[in-house]
Structure 1
Amino acid sequence: MRRRERGFTLLEILVVLSLLAVLLVLLSGALLGANRAVSKAQRYTVSLDEMRAAQQFLRTAISEALPLDVTEDDSQADGFFMGTSERLQFVATLPGVLGGGIQRFTLQRGAEGLQVAFSRLEAQTTASRDEPQVLLTNLAALQFSYRGISPLGQPTGWIDQWPWPRRLPSAVRIAARVDGPVPWVTQVIALRLNLSSGATGE
């Protein structure tokens, strides 16, 4: 007489289902963790690229500041380099890929981050202004400082305001704090055309 085939009991089925549920939970946790790691890496890469691009632009633009005395309106003091702790304005040549020409650069912290504005110099007393462009987002703090030679021939050390708009400093330091995965490394930019020791004093 043949024996009756034995099937799975309800308890065995419940145990198998429980094990499958545990495996699915572990697998979904691993996938979520991997997705978070990928997203974090992407945010870091984007922030790093933005930081490098901003620092490269600042190094190139500030180092090539020119001693060209241009005035946009009567309310603005004559000079070619005006620097405070939160705002920097100078004259330089814009790279060809961005339109070229001699322009007045204005760097300052705006609502969206570190901004740069260009004023194309069409004549000595007029200029066409472009909308400010954001160089770096998530900017929590920004400070410019300057070092050069005074009209008396004395080194200034680092100062928060450049008091001689008709003289170029020898270097500009940019300190900042950024809310993001990539910290800002303080930049010290030497001006290639340094007239601080030979310009006529003020």
Structure 2
Amino acid sequence: MRICGTGSEGGKERGFTLLELLISIGLLALIVVILGGAMRLGFRAIDAGERRMDALDRYRTSFGILTAQLQSAAPLTYDEEGEKRYYLKGDDRSLRFATNRSIWGEDRGCVIVSYRLEAGEGGRLSLYASERPVGMEGTREVRLFDDLKSLSFAYYAREAAEEKGEWTEDWSDDTRYPEQVKLRFIRGGGEAEILVPLYARAKK
């Protein structure tokens, strides 16, 4: 079958066979499918990029909160069996201390904040933070990270007569205050280490 039309070259008849027409339609459909696939891939790439940016922003914000709270740590004590004990206690997976900086940015005075790691889905770790005003009830909690492979705390201190100190993964000392806290974490994007000086130590 031929679909004909009048041509301009020598009055010759020109036209397309049904097969040629079907091939043209098929090629057009293939082009549409390819373009549609490319657009979907593009949208997915944009969406994945936005998710990565959101995750990075969340990490920066969360670590900014943690760092600010540590830098505002206060060497407060509480009474236990007639002895003064620092609120600051920690190990490699948890940390508690008093700070003048609230996670929620409210003027709540001095608060006791606790950070702890918990196992999540797929072997991932989540870091939770909870805080309450000193001497009051009512704890608020928030999850800061939920896709960590690893996170650990370490504490640096030195004796008054020593020039060099040492790092430890457990802090329960009630006679002195650490000079620095180290956070080491691993996530999908790599590994990083943050050193946070505790300025409040100089005010003791």
The separation in 2 between residues aligned to 1:29 and 1:11, in whole angstroms, is 27
Give the TM-score of the pair, scaled to structure 2. Answer: 0.79
Aligned partner of 1:118: which letter?
E
Change (3 A) 1:86 1:109: same
Specify the SS of the correspondent of 2:46: helix
User: Which stretch of structure 1 is more off in the superposition, 43-52 or 134-143?
Assistant: 134-143
1:139 to partner: Cα distance: 2.1
Residue 109, structure 1, aligned to residue 117, structure 2: yes
Alignment map for 1:1-16 (pairs within 5 Å):
7-16=15-24
Match of 1:168 in 2: 177
Selected match of 1:94 from 96, 101, 109: 101
Give the TM-score of the pair, scaled to structure 1. Answer: 0.80
Match of 2:192 in 1: 185
The separation in 2 between residues aligned to 1:32 and 1:141, in whole angstroms, is 34
CA RMSD for the aligned pairs? 2.7
Selected match of 1:137 from 143, 146, 170: 146
- Would you say the 8 A contact 1:174–1:188 is kept in 2? yes
Change (3 A) 1:53 1:166: farther
Match of 1:34 in 2: 42
- Would you say the 8 A contact 1:148–1:157 is kept in 2? yes
1:120 to partner: Cα distance: 1.2
Specify the SS of the correspondent of 2:167: coil
Q: Return 5+ residue gaps in structure 1 as ranges.
A: none
User: Which stretch of structure 1 is more off in the superposition, 89-98 or 55-64?
Assistant: 89-98
Q: Return 5+ residue gaps in structure 2 as ranges.
A: 1-5, 121-125
Match of 1:65 in 2: 73
Query: Between Structure 1 and Structure 2, whose CA radius of gyration is higher?
Result: 2
Aligned partner of 1:115: which letter?
Y
Residue 51, structure 1, aligned to residue 64, structure 2: no
- Would you say the 8 A contact 1:170–1:191 is kept in 2? yes
Higher relative contact order (CA 8 A, sep 6+): 1
Aligned partner of 2:61: which letter?
A
The separation in 2 between residues aligned to 1:119 and 1:97, in whole angstroms, is 13
- Would you say the 8 A contact 1:67–1:166 is kept in 2? no
Aligned partner of 2:52: which letter?
Y
Q: Percent identity?
A: 23
- Whose strand proportion is higher, 1 or 2? 2
1:111 to partner: Cα distance: 4.7
Change (3 A) 1:162 1:155: farther
String of CA shifts for 1:66-97, please: whole Å, max 9, x gaps: 111025x87xx932210211111111113473
Match of 1:128 in 2: 137
